[in-house]
Amino acid sequence: MRQGTDGARHTMNLNACVIAVHCSRLHHFSKERVHAITLLEGLGVQGDAHCGATVQHLSRVARDPSQPNLRQVHLLQAELFKTLARQGHVVHPGDLGENITTEGIDLLELSTGAVLQLGAEARVRITGLRNPCVQIDRFQPGLRAAVLDHTADGELVRKAGVMAVVLRGGVVSAQDRIQVLPAAGPHVPLRPV
């Protein structure tokens, strides 16, 4: 157990699971809740606007469409919703554009390169943090500031989830267990991707 940046106590327990999955064919900010998603190796979520081997986020495509897609799958910890509610923000699974909403795992404390086993088949490798953009404030005024924090040393903390690439495809749905397979070597703190 550890003290989180939001003051809450967090654990990486054996009951970590997926609580919801989301997909959107269009580049909308929020994603629709669906029964299951299919992860495609090296591409992302089948049928999702961000699925592809190269960047699919519109701002990144405009800069350089040949860049590798390190943001194939967006995962967000459901525990964030309670923190946001205490600050007056009502946010539900899928609202922040995540593909997978998790519970019981502190995604922000994972090492760069950590692998998550999702259900029986799928595996993703964590590439970094989601960098909250101005679209968050368009969704709900003041929400961007609420998903940012600072450490005692003044370092910026981004709480809007993590990004990953698909190592092994498979179907992922609510109630699937999540197992963390740590990255080889020392812990490497997550940075925005």
Task: For 2-175, give the CATH class.
Answer: mainly beta
Question: What does each C-alpha distance from 15 to 11, 104, 105 come to in angstroms?
Answer: 10, 6, 9
Residue range 2-39, pLDDT digits in tens: 334 333 334 355 789 999 999 999 999 999 999 999 99
- What does the alpha-carbon distance between residue 151 and residue 73 come to, in Å, rounded to a whole number? 27
What is the rounded distance in angstroms from the CA atom of residue 191 to the CA atom of residue 172?
Answer: 26
Cα 73 off chain centre by: 7
Tell me the whole-structure pTM to 2 decimals.
0.91
Consecutive H or E run containing 177? none
* pLDDT recorded at residue 55: 94
Extract the runs of DSSP E, i.e. beta strands, from 41-121: 44-45, 73-77, 100-103, 115-118
The pair of structure tokens assigned to 32 is 């629709």
| pLDDT at 125 exceeding the cut of 90 | yes
Residue pLDDT, tens place only, 65-84:
999 999 999 999 999 999 99
Q: Which residue has the tokens 């699919």?
A: 56
Domain ranges within the chain, ordered by starting residue: 2-175
pLDDT tens-digit readout, 140-192:
999 999 999 999 999 999 999 999 999 999 999 999 999 999 778 899 999 99
Q: Give the residue-averaged pLDDT of 123-147.
A: 95
